[in-house]
């Protein structure tokens, strides 16, 4: 995720890959890509889970002096499901992802129906772009920082990151195990364990993780326990430095 959309871990992820792990071959399994693509597939299609359903409601609002259409759109985005980090289908994640789309709309659009129509069209385009960035070509995912999408916001990264234009390639491998192996694990950690297990089965030398508590999610099977590899935990120091939080 930090490679295709701006998150607090984006800067460390790019810098480590460009500077420290330059000669490595990068791998990812199909299920990891599928998990990322699922974030913006709104299967439930309800007001609470699908931000597009919520933003259709703008059509019914009359513009008031209290709040602009953009202000209303942000409130509707936030007014969804609060929990549910599994699959990231919560309104906080959705607001980070779509607030830029709201912001980019022309301020002169005053008709709620037109506003809603253009907004939903642009949200759908952003989801399509995100999915295309995660679609491999001949088994290779090409990462190009100039195509990174706004998500958590540019205050999380130093702009000098964009002066480096090296593209990177990640091999997308077929899943080498069935997720059913992890059926007894809690749903929240099942998929992480599955991904660690598949990477260790490939005998990788290094795993990049975005979760400081990754040890709780590592697969406990005998093969994984006996295979040791380096784990690098991505850090959000760049964001903290930019915001004066260090
Ligand atoms: Zn395992």
Average pLDDT of the residues in 215-239: 92
Beta bridge partners of 5: 149
How far apart CA 120 and CA 116 sit, in angstroms, is 6
User: Which tokens is 131 given?
Assistant: 């999915």
In 3D space, the residue among 91, 83, 96 whose CA is nearest the CA of residue 187 turns out to be: 83
**What is the whole-number distance in angstroms between the Cα of residue 222 and the centre of ligand 1?**
7
Q: Report the separation in Å between the CA atom of 214 and the middle of ligand 1, taken as the mean of its atom positions.
A: 14
Cα of 197 vs centre of ligand 1, distance in Å, is: 4
**Residue 216 Cα, ligand 1 centroid: separation in angstroms?**
13
10-27 pLDDT, tens digit per residue, is 999 999 999 999 889 999
Question: What's the pLDDT tens digit per position in 94-131?
Answer: 999 999 999 999 999 999 999 999 999 999 999 999 99
């Amino acid at each position: 995720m930090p490679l295709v959309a701006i998150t607090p871990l984006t800067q460390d992820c790019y810098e480590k890959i460009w500077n420290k792990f330059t000669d490595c071959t990068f791998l990812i399994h199909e299920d990891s890509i599928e998990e990322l693509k699922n974030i913006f597939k709104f299967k439930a299609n309800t007001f609470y889970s699908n931000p597009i359903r919520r933003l259709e409601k703008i059509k019914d609002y009359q513009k008031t002096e209290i709040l602009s259409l953009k202000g209303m759109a942000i409130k509707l985005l936030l007014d969804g499901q609060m929990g549910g980090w599994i699959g990231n289908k919560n309104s906080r994640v959705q607001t980070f992802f779509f607030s830029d789309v709201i912001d980019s709309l022309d301020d002169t659009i005053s008709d709620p129906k037109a506003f809603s129509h253009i907004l939903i069209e642009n949200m759908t385009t952003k989801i399509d772009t995100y999915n295309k960035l995660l679609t491999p070509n001949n088994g290779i995912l090409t990462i190009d920082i100039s195509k990174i999408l706004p998500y958590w916001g540019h205050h999380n990264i130093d702009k000098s990151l964009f002066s480096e234009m090296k593209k990177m390639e990640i091999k997308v491998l077929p899943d080498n195990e069935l997720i059913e192996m992890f059926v007894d694990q809690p749903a929240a950690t099942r998929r992480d364990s599955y991904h660690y297990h598949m990477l260790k089965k490939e005998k990788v030398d290094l795993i990049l993780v975005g979760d400081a508590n990754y040890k709780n999610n590592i697969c406990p099977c005998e093969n994984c326990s006996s295979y040791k590899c380096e784990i690098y935990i991505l850090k959000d120091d760049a964001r903290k430095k930019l915001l004066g939080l260090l």
